[in-house]
Structure 1
Amino acid sequence: MDADAAVIPLQLHPLGFIEAFTQLDASLATLLRGTGISQSMLDDPRARISYAQQARLIANGLSQCHRPGLGLLVGQMFDWSYYGSVGGVVQCSPSLRAAGEAFQRYLMIAQPWYAFRGRRATTYLDLDGMIVDPLDCFPAGGAPEPLRQFESEFRLAMQLRIWDSCGNKAAPDTSIRVCLNHSEPSYAHLYRSLPCTSVRFDCPRSYIAAHRHFVLEPFRPFRRRAFDRIIQRCEQELVESQVEPSYRAKVRWHVFAGFNKRPPLNEIASMLSVTPRALTRRLASEGITFREITHEVRMELTAHHLRCSRLSVDQIAELMGFSCASSLRRAIRNWSGSAAGTMREAPPPSAARRINTRQFSSKAVSRVIARS
């Protein structure tokens, strides 16, 4: 995506950052300096800015708000309304999984870069029924270190707020555990003030984990209709935004979201407001079938568990719906050309690049502003 293309709705994330920075004593005029954003644009619902402008805005905030752990602070005060309609699911999602899928899918409305990334395997089931969600969703490329640190902290704080609000508090184990792949900073108390049970530093990878009952089991059945109304509105906004590139991408999202239920073609067609026949034709025009997409998703999830999870091959085979471990091994070899054992021995995909959590000097932040 062109970093200078004006694609980000100013009324969503950027305005949320502006509100947070000004509440932390930043001057609005100085915050907007050099961004190409005028104060009159803040009231324009049609205003769009580029990723370069957003980066400059955040860099200005870093230079004015001289506080350690600024991303954590902003993440804890950032209002859900700046996510657009999907922010409302925090109050009514039937489960944490439903909320997580909604945020993943509709984040591309506020941040269109995610439409180009597409849906991919991230979360996995580990030993003792733990659901693990790696903190590795950074865009490729060399973002300046202060911005990477801010993004890392901000994303962690926002995700933990979702987990805390939408997890099943009636589950036997409601603990939320955080592991981070960087050393303990001087402001570790800010990490420990986040809504989680524990935070560990110097881990091989960064992730959030909780028991599957906490993540998957519904607990707010009477709010389901409110949730469905929000999702319907989000789908309309996504269509209007025209950021989703293809029907293949649309179908992949829904197959991933409902993988354990194996949603049939007619159900996904209904979600996309087209007939099953029309969806089949549109996929064919893109050179793929519904069956091929479901197989593709199944194999990606299987490979992801082989690389990341400590479950046995037999357990992964059962989880992914294979008749036995031998069937899984044959399918993996046919799909990838690699043996299941080779995937198991390979290191898991690296998480977010290790962040240096030292407090950045004003000179470091000035260099960020100069590059933005």
Structure 2
Amino acid sequence: MVNIIELAHVVDILDSFVPKNVVESALRTAGLDRKMLSEGTGFVSYAAEAVILESVARMIGDRHLGARVGRAFDYLAYGAYANYVLGAPDLRSALDRGRRALSLTHPGSEIVIRQTDTHVVVGRDSKGFSVVGHRHLDEGALFVISKVARHFLGTDWQPDWFELPDGNGDDKSKLADLFGAPVRTGAQSPSVALRLSDLDTRNPHPLQSRKTITLKDLGALMGVEPVQSIEGAVLQIMRAHLPTSVLSESKVAAHLAIGPRSLQRALRAEGTAYRTIRSMLIEEQAREMLQKSDIPVERIADMLGYKEPKSFRRAFREWTGSSPKSFRGNRNANT
């Protein structure tokens, strides 16, 4: 999973690289639109971001689009998360903060650290998650990790080497030119090599804030909760698409890069099912739309996947004990 904050910034970067209609086409391929990114909070799937980058890369013939996007990525776009990480007293603490808080930007991923006699190799592991376009995310991650190091070590700092899971000789040569450092392939995860002697470098530019941000504060500041379960992942993905559409079980599974049966088994193991989650979300969205908008009931029914308004009215009465019209009337009376 990836935080919508990051994906929205990636789309802004793509808009600066290519015509907007190219980006629009890529968003549609991933089952997303700009409204979801501008108004939504929470997460979308890792696969969706990969599909967007791969679609644009194919349309413009850029095999290393992810690296170019990563180079242009503004780490401060993460907002409170960036303030938390870059506000650390030294580089070692910043890496630890990033590792502990990663669930707020990339649920399901983790920061992995490998130490040698002279270096610490820092990478982002997505637990073997492989989807079309994952190469772009791997290459972009190297720049994001490097930007944390450069905050402490200076803008001219370069790692002694980078690591990537795959890539041929031609790729390594081109990426070395893009990255400004040697590239090694065959690694478990995209990683950056930092010298052990650099880890205790003090923060030369601590970010100023009215109070110290704690890990406990971060979720509320970013408007998200870490995804801890498959049910949570399904909820986040479906909420990102509401109220534009209600995703089918197969589309939710596709966003998670798994098959529908695998999704069913995973939800069953957690004591729930797609149908239960879908019903809960539709009720939640119906209440909100009736309370906060003047959209006609028939239109709300259609937006929430009901072919017949009377089916929606019947379901709403079962949820609340009143009709949509009465529910909205009570809101107006209270106002």
User: TM range, normalised to the smaller chain?
Assistant: 0.5 to 0.7
CA deviations over 1:170-207 (Å, ceiling 9, x no partner): xxxx762114464432573553343x6x3144677774
Does residue 1:24 correspond to 2:26, yes or no? no
Pair 219,109 (structure 1): closer, same or farther in 2 beyond 3 Å: closer
Pair 185,89 (structure 1): closer, same or farther in 2 beyond 3 Å: farther
1:215 to 199, 216, 219: 199
Tell me what 1:138 maps to.
Answer: 126
2:66 to 63, 71, 82: 71
Pair 140,125 (structure 1): closer, same or farther in 2 beyond 3 Å: closer
Pair 69,55 (structure 1): closer, same or farther in 2 beyond 3 Å: closer
Look at both structures and tell me which one has the larger radius of gyration over its CA atoms: 2
CA deviations over 1:190-243 (Å, ceiling 9, x no partner): 53343x6x31446777743232221123243x8387497234575453897342
Identity %: 15
Tell me what 1:126 maps to.
Answer: 116
Alignment of 1:126-205 (within 5 A): 126-127=116-117, 129-133=118-122, 135=123, 137-144=125-132, 147-167=133-153, 176-180=159-163, 182-185=167-170, 188-194=173-179, 198-201=181-184
Alignment of 1:208-247 (within 5 A): 208-220=192-204, 223=206, 226=209, 229-231=212-214, 234-237=217-220, 241-243=224-226, 245=228
Q: Which runs of 5+ in 2 are unaligned?
A: 230-335
1:132 maps to a residue whose letter is V
Structure-1 separation of matches of 2:85 and 2:222: 22
Q: How big is the shift at 1:80?
A: 1.9
TM-score of the pair, normalised by structure 1: 0.49
Tell me what 2:91 maps to.
Answer: 96
Structure-2 separation of matches of 1:232 and 1:21: 31
Kindly indicate whether the alpha-carbon contact (under 8 Å) linking 1:95 and 1:166 is maintained by their aligned counterparts in 2: yes
Structure-1 separation of matches of 2:39 and 2:150: 33
Structure-1 separation of matches of 2:203 and 2:197: 10
Pair 233,36 (structure 1): closer, same or farther in 2 beyond 3 Å: same
Structure-2 separation of matches of 1:209 and 1:227: 34
Alignment of 1:218-367 (within 5 A): 218-220=202-204, 223=206, 226=209, 229-231=212-214, 234-237=217-220, 241-243=224-226, 245=228
1:57 maps to a residue whose letter is I
> Secondary structure at the residue paired with 2:213?
helix
Q: Which runs of 5+ in 1 are unaligned?
A: 1-6, 247-372
CA RMSD after TM alignment: 3.7
Kindly indicate whether the alpha-carbon contact (under 8 Å) linking 2:142 and 2:191 is maintained by their aligned counterparts in 1: no
TM-score of the pair, normalised by structure 2: 0.54
Kindly indicate whether the alpha-carbon contact (under 8 Å) linking 1:168 and 1:215 is maintained by their aligned counterparts in 2: no
Structure-1 separation of matches of 2:210 and 2:119: 26
CA deviations over 1:123-148 (Å, ceiling 9, x no partner): 24422x43233x4613324423xx13
Q: How big is the shift at 1:108?
A: 1.4
Tell me what 2:29 maps to.
Answer: 34
Kindly indicate whether the alpha-carbon contact (under 8 Å) linking 1:16 and 1:82 is maintained by their aligned counterparts in 2: yes
Q: How big is the shift at 1:97?
A: 1.6
Q: How big is the shift at 1:38?
A: 2.8
Which one has more relative contact order, counting CA pairs under 8 Å at least 6 apart?
Answer: 1
CA deviations over 1:6-30 (Å, ceiling 9, x no partner): x7543x1211221122111142422
CA deviations over 1:33-62 (Å, ceiling 9, x no partner): 233323333331437534443343233222
Structure-1 separation of matches of 2:209 and 2:51: 37
CA deviations over 1:314-348 (Å, ceiling 9, x no partner): xxxxxxxxxxxxxxxxxxxxxxxxxxxxxxxxxxx
Q: How many residues in Structure 1 have an aligned counterpart in Structure 2? A: 223
Kindly indicate whether the alpha-carbon contact (under 8 Å) linking 1:95 and 1:167 is maintained by their aligned counterparts in 2: no
2:113 maps to a residue whose letter is T
> Secondary structure at the residue paired with 2:170?
coil
